[in-house]
Amino acid sequence: MGKARIVDPAHRGDNCAVPIVTLKHSGRRFEVAAGETVLEAAQRAGIALPYSCRAGVCGSCKATLLEGQCGYPLNPPLALDAHERAQHAVLLCQAVPADDLLLEAREVVSVEDVARRRLRVRVAERRALAPDVTGLVLLPQDEEARLRWLPGQYLDVLLDDGQRRPFSIANGPRSDGEIELHVRHVAGGGFTSWVADALKAGDTLHVEGPLGTFVPREDSERPMVFVAGGTGFAPVGAIVEHFLALGTRRGMDVYWGARRAADLYLRERVEAWVRRAPNLRFHPVLSEPAEARAAGLREGLVHAAVLADHPDLSGHDVYMSGPPAMIDAGRHAFVAAGLPEERLYYDSFDYAPDVLAKIIAGRAGIHERRAG
């Protein structure tokens, strides 16, 4: 890996050929247009590489740069620590090549045949799931074909001003095309405030999807650990229900972390899974000590609860979804506990990319989160 280095792509000059990225394991190759990130170019070529936040903060799209040069003219790679940078790790959602690249990257072939598209949906149902979480059930408009997706993927709600707000789909595909979303209200968040206060059944939304690579991996017989933080339960729940529908006999431990008992807004759904599947165990965890004591539930941080029960994760597959702080703590701690990084699948509920860019630039402090 001595040939790999990170540089400003502007130093390459104007007379160089279009950069070509080669993926080491599969040998697949694709061109990257000027100013385009590796992830964008791969998607344009129909190649699915892992990603989540698309803003450089979650680390889902991490790969190893074996040869070539790239830079980060958009957002800095906040998800990479000093050790990862020293090992030539790059974030594909932000990396812009300066010349040809050879990458060691995971490919998620299962999502490549699922076409992304835009459609109009009608709000069929709206209900309060928790004091600050609204559940939405969306159905395609009569003239629209139903959306296809894999459990765990998300969609973008397209706003009138051209901005997007991403939300995980909380269910797997159904014959009627029903889409379930869990929207957390964030103070100062324009869209989530509208959902909480004004959106009503019968209203129409424009969406685009499916997006994301947080999907079930079925090529394993290892026990699975699922870790959800807050509304990170939405995609985790969809994946768990997928494995239940398959009749899997693999062990499944579902950890759900929240501040208060009321934030475990579909606890009865998980308890129904436990009654249905003897190989599934549920571990609710509350971070507020007084709340945990009052509810008679486990106290602490959810990733710490996982490690207390599974100090050695080398024989597991782990699915994790939630806020950036949980993802960052969990991904480092789980790998330190022996989990191979290629068996850690996660989805970070981060700031929408346009909002994050403003925050990084110091121009705003908007708090719009996916699923929130």
Q: Are residues 153 and 200 in the same domain?
A: yes
Residue 99: exposure state from Cβ atoms within 10 A (0-12, 13-18, ≥19)? middle
Residue 368 forms part of a structural domain = no
Residue 72 forms part of a structural domain = yes
- At residue 11, the pLDDT reads 52
Which residues lie below 8 Å from residue 372, measured CB to CB, with a gap of 6+? 183, 184, 185, 186, 189, 192, 230, 231, 349
Per-residue pLDDT of the chain (372 residues; tens, 9 = 90+): 445 555 555 554 444 589 999 999 999 999 999 999 999 999 999 999 999 888 888 888 999 999 999 999 998 998 898 999 999 999 999 999 999 999 999 999 999 989 999 999 999 999 999 999 999 999 999 888 999 999 999 999 999 988 899 999 999 999 899 999 999 998 777 888 899 999 999 999 999 999 999 999 999 999 999 999 999 999 999 999 999 999 999 999 999 999 999 999 999 999 999 999 999 999 999 999 999 999 999 999 999 999 999 999 999 999 999 998 999 999 999 999 999 999 999 998 765 555 555 544 543 333 344 444
Residue 78, domain CATH:
3.10.20.30
Residue 366 forms part of a structural domain = no
Residue 323, domain CATH:
3.40.50.80
Q: Are residues 235 and 337 in the same domain?
A: yes
Q: Are residues 201 and 240 in the same domain?
A: no
Say which amino acid occupies 181.
Answer: L
Q: Are residues 337 and 251 in the same domain?
A: yes
Q: Give the gyration radius of the chain's Cα atoms.
A: 21
- At residue 226, the pLDDT reads 98
- The residue out of 78, 107, 136 marking a domain boundary is 107
**Is the separation of the CB atoms in 28 and 41 below 8 Å?**
no
Other beta carbons within 10 angstroms of residue 241's beta carbon come to 16
Q: Are residues 72 and 129 in the same domain?
A: no
- The residue out of 82, 107, 132 marking a domain boundary is 107
**Is the separation of the CB atoms in 19 and 83 below 8 Å?**
no
Q: Are residues 230 and 204 in the same domain?
A: no
The angle at the Cα of 71, spanning 24 to 28, to the nearest 5 degrees, equals 20
Three-state DSSP class for residue 264: coil
- Beta pairing class for 252-258 and 224-229: parallel
- The residue out of 107, 136, 156 marking a domain boundary is 107
Considering its fold, how many domains does the chain have in total? 3
Q: Are residues 329 and 263 in the same domain?
A: yes
Residue 369 forms part of a structural domain = no
Residue 80 forms part of a structural domain = yes
Which residues span the domain enclosing 153? 117-213+353-360
Say which amino acid occupies 38.
Answer: V
Numbers of helices and strands, H then E, in the chain: 9, 20
**Is the separation of the CB atoms in 166 and 156 below 8 Å?**
yes
Backbone angles phi, psi at 91, to 5 degrees: -105, 115
